Structure 1
Amino acid sequence: MNARIVEGQYKMSNDYSMSLLKNVHKDLPLPEPGETFLVRGDYEYWHYGCDGFNDKGWGCGYRTLQTICSWIKDTLTSNAPVPNLRSIQEILVALEDKDKSFIGSREWIGSFEVCLVLDYRYDVVSKIIHIPNGKDLIQYIDKLKKHFEDFASPIMMGGDKDCSSKGIMGIHIGSNGNAYLLVVDPHFIGKAKGINHLQSEHWIKWQHFSDFVNSSFYNFCLPQVQARKQHEGHSTTG
């Protein structure tokens, strides 16, 4: 992923970043009866090309980071805007995590880089959870549940064999031991007709733990900032 971004080469025709859909998991049907723990507060759905910049094939981690930034900005009432892709790269170079050649590249970022940017941009510390392989995800149900109970902030999920970044907005625990993660997928391209459009095409979905890749490791970035108290109702039973 060392190709360079040439000025204007990756521009798309439309910039939707000022009118992004919010809280795109709203009213998504539960996969089965059980207990649900969700993000609290408002976030914007950032995805491929939403700001007029074509990052298809490499920018999913940046887009999940932007979604998390939008939640933090709203939660902390911060004046710091959601950073664009180049700004994210510049931050990582300033932190000496990346070489200068990283700026303008199409290199991916993962959960560790997301952690660094959140700390630099918003002074938000994050916890990293490393899971050696997908089949071990089930062992982390309680930790993920506790995160949404204590903080209710969005989570970044990345991996290696499964290298597609995912925003995680909740966890659902079924009555028979089944468990699901609420995935907000940043790989959508275009202008969504609405939340129902995204949900019906499964860009927003409940994904069973068994549907993740067993041979892939996963890294979770859990921002350690609490949702505002006025956002209640993080857990439900259905």
Structure 2
Amino acid sequence: MEGESGRCVRVLCPKKTLLGFSSSSKESPGIRWLIGSPLFLPPLTVVSAFQCLHGDPFLPDFSREADDIRILLLRGFDIIGALFIGHGSLKENAIRAVEASCRLRKSLHYGEVSFDMIGAAADLPIGDIHFLVSDSAKPINMEASTVIYEDNPDKYLWEKGCLLRCELAFKLPAYFPVNKTPDIEETFSSLVDAAAAKLKDPDVAYLVEGPDISSEEASHSIVLHGEELDFDKHPSNHKPLNSSAEAQACSYFCSKNKFKSTSAARETADAIRVTVLSNKSRNNNSGAPIAEYLPASEPARIVVASFKLDVLCYASEDFPVTAAISKLVVPALVDQLETMKKAIIPEILSQHPQGWGCAYRSLQTIISWYRLQQYTSIEVPSHREIQQTLVEIGDKEPSFVGSREWIGAIELSFVLDKLLGVGCKIINVRSGEELPEKCRELAMHFETQGTPVMIGGGVLAYTLLGVDYNEVSGDCAFLILDPHYTGNDDLKKIVNSGWCGWKKAVDSKGRSFFLKDKFYNLLLPQRPNMV
């Protein structure tokens, strides 16, 4: 593999894999990401291709695309270009492919492109692919390249390459104040970040073991400590090891007979096992654990989050195993932790006891509006008084008073009818994706009624104070008051922290405020018929 340079593009997968179609289907129009390994394979070597998953086929959502690829793509591989499948000029399409791949790499690595990129365009009439190369120093200068489709791609990829696999399971206990919901996200996020930082701790240990091999060979294993690893050095600066340092190279753990049968290359690719161990004391003598009692200063609850990480990395056999751990394995574990953190936080927020009262607080906001408009003089009811009202009208059993049962739009309409004598209109939508379709109706409500709207359903409740609806374009923004805020009446803090503000159904980064897989009920209180 060494010694190859110039503008030769080498492809290690069938052409139909790049085009994304089988014998029973046609090519899919759009952009496909080209995968390679600039660190371990010769430049401009295409291993495979990924279909663009997010956004328009020709206009990707680079942020969401990067989030997925960061997890799906094995460490050691990278985005080295893109293939544009569509009609038009081949050169223009190839340039668009390079531009898209450069933007994706910047989203993936938060920086500039550091190596040449491939721009490819499919010639649909003949089913061929034209490759161009963009020099990283002068990306506007495109040069045509010769193309070689490798006859034996498996051997080419695995002859001097290997896999490293690390599985890590652990539980992360977190204690949260019952009455401080806004602190939950920050607290849990800091705990996960601390767990990720421990992977680089000087006292952490990594057990590296060779794969299961035949009885003819001896299995090798070593233990490396965090203090022996360089987490700051860029992987490209780690030089292949010579034979005198063979014990520190990945080849030390690989079977020497893995290519007796080249037809089984894919099945016999080595997977070096990496196990994470912790020994804070660095003491060989075992001792009884010591527990210290630290009482909580306020009511708290515990949430135990279970993590099961599993990462797979690709490296060349002559790559230092210390570098493989510090630059491939550990960053892959950190990426998985970050992804799981984003998935777990909403679940914790929805389970937090403080979350049960959001509809109650939305109702309190609505009643306070009637007070401010001088439609009523009654005091804003407490949670308990709201529950007692529902019991009095026969909607709930007596045991409901003092419980943490949730209430929704129907219960709120009952309470408003009982306490204020006002009617309510309820709008049901099957999915958060359909909520923007109700903007015209909501805009009319705020023009004619003006009352705050409670948004509930299969999710936590919110209070809608207004909408900004463009009748020409159909664009809509929602003025949301989050009832989960439990601090003091600091308006600047409330607005600056996002507890009250304008929300788009889909923001500039493609994130949806309203969930597609949840239903929503909107409660629209009406003004009294008479004052």
- TM-score category by the smaller chain? 0.5 to 0.7
| Percentage of identical aligned residues | 37
SS at structure 2 position matched to 1:57:
helix
The alignment status of 1:217 with 2:519, answered yes or no, reads yes
Cα distance, 1:150 vs structure 2: 0.7
Cα distance, 1:178 vs structure 2: 2.1
Unaligned ranges ≥5, structure 2? 1-177, 181-352, 507-512
Number of aligned residues: 174
Aligned to 2:460: 164
Contact kept, 8 Å, 2:430 with 2:518, in 1: the verdict is yes
Aligned to 1:125: 423
Aligned to 1:25: none
Cα distance, 1:172 vs structure 2: 0.9
Which structure is larger by alpha-carbon Rg, 1 or 2? Answer: 2
Deviations 1:164-195 (A, max 9, x none): 11110000124643211110001112224x21
The equivalences for 1:63-212 within 5 A come to 63-160=361-458, 163-174=459-470, 176-192=473-489, 194-210=490-506, 211-212=513-514
SS at structure 2 position matched to 1:80:
coil
Contact kept, 8 Å, 2:481 with 2:500, in 1: the verdict is yes
Q: For the residues of structure 1 that align with 2:409 and 2:474, how far apart are their CA atoms?
A: 28
Q: For the residues of structure 1 that align with 2:450 and 2:499, how far apart are their CA atoms?
A: 21
The one-letter code sitting in structure 2 at the alignment partner of 1:221 is L
Contact kept, 8 Å, 2:454 with 2:461, in 1: the verdict is yes
The one-letter code sitting in structure 2 at the alignment partner of 1:186 is P
4+ aligned runs moved over 6 Å, structure 1: none
Unaligned ranges ≥5, structure 1? 1-9, 13-54, 227-238
Deviations 1:14-65 (A, max 9, x none): xxxxxxxxxxxxxxxxxxxxxxxxxxxxxxxxxxxxxxxxx72311110010
Query: In the superposition, relative to structure 1, how do residues 149 and 100 fare at CA in structure 2: closer, same or farther (>3 Å)?
Result: same
Structure with the larger RCO, 1 or 2 (CA within 8 Å, 6+ apart)? 1
Higher helix share: 2
Deviations 1:90-110 (A, max 9, x none): 011111111111111011111
Cα distance, 1:209 vs structure 2: 2.0
SS at structure 1 position matched to 2:356:
coil
Aligned to 1:45: none
Contact kept, 8 Å, 2:454 with 2:462, in 1: the verdict is yes
The one-letter code sitting in structure 2 at the alignment partner of 1:135 is E
The one-letter code sitting in structure 2 at the alignment partner of 1:67 is T
Q: For the residues of structure 1 that align with 2:388 and 2:179, how far apart are their CA atoms?
A: 19
Aligned to 1:26: none
Q: For the residues of structure 2 that align with 1:11 and 1:169, how far apart are their CA atoms?
A: 25
SS at structure 2 position matched to 1:220:
strand
SS at structure 1 position matched to 2:355:
coil
SS at structure 2 position matched to 1:65:
helix
SS at structure 2 position matched to 1:219:
strand
Cα distance, 1:11 vs structure 2: 8.9
Cα distance, 1:75 vs structure 2: 1.9
Deviations 1:207-238 (A, max 9, x none): 11232101111111111107xxxxxxxxxxxx
SS at structure 2 position matched to 1:69:
helix
TM-score normalised by structure 1 residue count? 0.68
SS at structure 2 position matched to 1:59:
helix
Alignment RMSD: 2.2
TM-score normalised by structure 2 residue count? 0.31
The one-letter code sitting in structure 1 at the alignment partner of 2:377 is N
The one-letter code sitting in structure 1 at the alignment partner of 2:357 is G
Cα distance, 1:79 vs structure 2: 2.2
SS at structure 2 position matched to 1:78:
coil
Query: In the superposition, relative to structure 1, how do residues 135 and 114 fare at CA in structure 2: closer, same or farther (>3 Å)?
Result: same
Q: For the residues of structure 2 that align with 1:205 and 1:79, how far apart are their CA atoms?
A: 29
Q: For the residues of structure 1 that align with 2:418 and 2:382, how far apart are their CA atoms?
A: 14
